Structure formats: structure tokens, C-alpha cells
Amino acid sequence: MNLKDIHNVFFIGIGGIGMSALALYFKHVGKTVVGYDKVESPITKELQKNGISVHFEDDLNLIPESFKSKENTLIVYTPAVPETHSQHQYFRENGFEIKKRAEVLGIITKDTFCLAVAGTHGKTTTSCILAHLLNECGMPITAFLGGISENFNSNFLLEGTEYSVVEADEFDRSFLHLSPDVACITSMDADHLDIYGDSEELKKTFGDFSKKIKPGGILFVKNGLPLEGMTFGIEDDSDYRIENIKIEHGTYIFDLISPKGRLEKTRFNQPGRHNLLNGLVAFAMAVHAGCPLHRLAGALETFKGVERRFSYQIKEAGLVFIDDYAHHPTEINAVFDAVSEMYPSEEVTAVFQPHLFSRTQDFADDFARSLEKFTVVLLLDIYPAREEPIAGVTSEWLLEKIKNPNKKLVDKSNLIHELKKTKTKILVTMGAGDIGLEVPKIKEELAYAS
């Protein structure tokens, strides 16, 4: 497929964070972009502000006439939208060029110097840090991000086409469509077992991804992962490593050791050791893209963060409210560790919305152990996303496994009322479903109440 021959791009599921970044790219390079999504959201509103037409009904009459010519129209879809979707069926039955988001990303980036971030955790934060570092160094980059960077106020950046930054998503083996020059793997914890079956198959596929790196390219792996590459870690023997960590007023200060030299008293403002690792590997990748060390040190300090990644909503003396996308036990543990490190003597209320019936079933005991460490646990119903219910897999079932007397199943409509009754100073909301839409309401009500 030659993208130069494409005039129209139709997105099925345009409101997804990765899909919307691609939609913005095609709009910026002069294509006519139209898309469908199930519900209106801040993302779809932003797309509309950028001149992209979005509709919310699965109606064939809403497909523009100009998009019914298959010779110059590309259809991009996400597996989150079922194939029973009538617009999807129309395009498929009429022989249109139909590609998954990951395939299109691979086509766009194959002729660039591609930097790809892989791993079951940390992809979005790492890729946002990396895009920020490269941008601060004046590199001509295009970045497709899986979250809203607070430096760019967007999930998309177009400052040139020589370099590209992408998330290499393991879901549905999507990352095998990429051919990066520089890549990293941050983690390989079991996840997406509905796709892979078991953790060994997942690890094997990460190995397959490592072989997609272009000849002469480089792979960075977190120290301890069973893959060959340059290593990164904290207080160990990694090629890139962090030592002498201190915390001052919520900021990490540390020494950064690399094969290119040592940077002392480097500063980074994102809480959590997992974020230190994300920043470290982004730094390493930027070095190998040609950025000078002294500029990277300053750029690390000015990284503001990513929406819904340990994102402070309220940070006052009497109340701290943090929102995070954590939807896997390992990520919940990372949030707990970060909160405990920053606020070691405080009680913490955790609100969690499980994401997917299959993930809840696969990791129920691990979820319970992760959540029960918080002082108070408020559990919402499972967010189904693309799935049908699984018999017996409910939030009530998960709640029973949590060995903490201060736990409760809460309906989303009653959440703010419950939060106002809690006396803990620290509040954390977590989940990958629609809990993010509740965050502004919670912030407004709690800020008003305090």
C-alpha cells in the first residue's frame, strides 16, 4: 500500500488513544479524515476541533459519498470494535483496503529512524518522556503516544519526519508490524492471556519483536529480563544505571551512569522507582538517537508527566488526589510503592475499576494482594471494554478475596458520596476503563469540600 495514493482515511474506533494519534497524523499530512466511535469523549472533541469529522452511530448513511471509492480510501480499525459493526462489514464486503492501527503505524514509520517502546508496563510514560527528550534536543520527530503528554497537551507530535517515536503494543501481537532502529523492553509480566494463553508464549513473542530491529539497531532491556541487549537498572551493574538516589520535595536527585559518561545530581520530578526506570531507558534511547548528554539532563528535569499516570489532581496540605491508569497488579504495586515513598506515614484510600473480565479472572489473587495493602479499598464494577461477561467473574467475587476489613463495593454513581465519608488524606483512583471520566467530577467535589 502506498500512502501517497490515499486521499481519504476512515477510522473505526477513532476515539481510542492510539487511533486518535494516527487520525491527527493523517489530518496533518493533508488527508481527509472521518471516523466512528461509540461515545463522545474529550478525545473525540479534540479531534473535531482539529477539523476531523466524527460520528457516534453505526449507520451506513453517515459514511461520506467520497469515502465509497475504494481506490483512494484507507480503512483503519481497532480490534476493540467488533466485526459485526455494520460500517466495518460494509468496507470489508466491498473490498476496501482495511488495516489495523499497528499495520498502518508500521508503514508510516518504516522509512524513518524509528524508536519503539515495548513492555507490558511503562510504554506510554516512557514514550512520552522519549518524545519530550528528542524534542528538547531539536530532533525532527513524529510521535504517536498512548497518552496525553502534559508537555505537549496531546498524544501526537509532528516536528519533522526523520525520526519517529511509537509504542510497540504487545496486545494482539501488534508490535510485530514494526521495524525499529532503537527499541526497549521495560517488562514482560504475564498479561493479555486471552491472546497468548500463557506467559511463556508472551515472552516468546517479545523475543520475536526483538528480532524485528533493523540491522545495526539496538535493543535496551531492563536488567534481569531474559533477552540480549544493553541493560538499564537502578543500583546494579547495568550499562545505563541510576545511583545515589535522594528525594527532596517530591523530586528525585540521582547520579546517572552511562557508557557515554556520568551525570551527577540529575533531577526528575515523576514519583516512583518505576518512573525512574522509564526515564532512564528513554534517556538511553535518546543518546543512541544522537542527543548530547548535557541537553538530555536538563530535558529530564522539565518532563511534566502524562495524564492518568500518577497524575496529581489535588496536591494540598490537607488532601492529595492522584489518578493513575494502573490496570494490572504489577502497576498497582508500583502506584502503592510510589505513594508510600512520597507519603510514608499517611493512610491511603484506593478506588479501583477492574478492566476486562478475562484479566480479572486471570489475576484475581494478585489483584487482591495488591489492593489490600491500601488503607481503604473502594471497588467499582468491572469495565468490560471489548468482552462479554464471564460467569462468576464479578467485582463482588474479587472483593471477597481482598483481605482488608476496610473494603467496599461502590456504584460509580455513589462514589463521590463514599469518598466524602473517608478521612484519609491521600486518595488514589486507578483503572483503564471509564473511571478517567469520573476524575474531573471527583476533583471538583473534593476541592470544593476541602
d(CA 251, CA 29): 39
The annotation status of 120 as a binding-site residue, yes or no, is yes
Indicate left, alpha or beta for 142 from its phi (over 0: left) and psi (-120 to 50: alpha): beta
Longest CA pairwise span in the chain (Å): 64
Among candidate residues 78, 73, 106, 86, the one with its CA nearest the CA of residue 17: 78
Contact 326, 332 (CB under 8 A): yes
Is 161 labeled as ligand-binding?
Answer: no
Is 122 annotated in some ligand binding site? yes
**CA atoms of 317 and 441, how far apart (whole Å):** 21
d(CA 18, CA 379): 27
Is 124 labelled a binding residue?
yes
C-beta separation of 144 from 132 below 8 A? no
Angstrom distances, CA of residue 19 to CA of 23, 102, 118, 361: 6, 9, 18, 28
| Cβ density class 306-326: b for 16+ within 10 Å, e for less | bbbbbbebbeeeebbbbbbbb
Place of cell 451506513: 60
**Grid cell 515495548 in the structure block, residue:** 118
Of 291, 290, 123, nearest in space to 191 by CA:
123
Q: What is the 3-state secondary structure (H, E, C) of 369-393?
A: HHHCCCCEEEECCCECCCCCCCCCC
> 266: which 3 cell numbers?
540529575
Q: Is 200 helix (H, G, I), strand (E, B) or coil?
A: helix
- Helix (H) / strand (E) element for 164: namely strand 163-168
Sequence length of the chain is: 450
The label of the residue with cell 540529575 reads 266
**Kind and range of the H or E element at 316?**
none
Report how far apart, in Å, the C-alpha atoms of 178 and of each of 105, 231, 274 are.
7, 21, 25
Specify the DSSP element, H or E, that contains 293.
helix 293-301
Let me know: does 433 contact 326? Beta carbons within 8 Å: no
Binding residues for ATP: 119-125
